[in-house]
Amino acid sequence: MDEALESHKIMTMEADKRDRVINAAMREFSKGFKSACTDTIVREAGISKGLLFHYFGTKDGLYSFILQNACNMIYEEYYTLIDLKQQDIIEKIWQMTLLKIDLSYKHPALFEFLAKAYVDLLENPNDEFSKYFEKTRSIAIEKALSDIDTSLFKDGIDAKKAANVILWTLNGYSTSQIDGSMRMEDYQKEYERYLGDMKEYIDLFRKTFYK
């Protein structure tokens, strides 16, 4: 776990109660930061409003913790499962895509919250909240680019630049699919189309960059 999370005051709370607070907050913030109501959070978590603010200080403080915790969960249950021995970067990125989708089924509330949080940041930039997404994105790039088999690429192609093109393209496509008004169940209905589109991009990259 991230050191900042591990040392947070909320970690002194009884585990079951802490989980109720985190889950209630994540569900409520899935409506968007401005729309989220702390009264709803404390009611669903079964704690007093005074206790909530004792641990987090402000609504911003609570949101910052929930966002950081969500990104930490992504690291622990996504990045640690990536096959770093896979040297074919296109295959690795495809496997990362499938893994991410599997996890979205396992943790729909988490991905629903992160999708809405990302939309919120696009509409209302916030350096404090953005840094968690940037850290998560930088880890993804590091994992994808680690130990690439450059011999797979056509002669004259810069493997690192080609890899960046692949990552930027797929990230741009994923971002274009995010709609802040959609629930995770709506995204799940689109997964077959989404996977088909991603597979077409993957095949195009192979034809374009590989021997």
Read off the pTM.
0.77
Question: What is the predicted pLDDT for the residue at 57?
Answer: 94
What's the distance, Cα to Cα, between the start and end of the chain in Å?
Answer: 41
Q: Which CATH superfamily is domain 1-65 in?
A: Homeodomain-like (1.10.10.60)
For residue 188, CA distances in Å to 66, 103, 126, 144, 195 come to 23, 12, 28, 25, 11
Domain ranges of the chain: 1-65, 78-211
Q: Tell me which residues of the chain have a pLDDT lower than 70.
A: 1, 178-188
Q: What is the pLDDT of residues 2-42, one digit of tens each?
A: 777 888 999 999 999 999 999 999 999 999 899 999 999 99
User: Which of 1, 81, 199 is CA-nearest to residue 22?
Assistant: 1
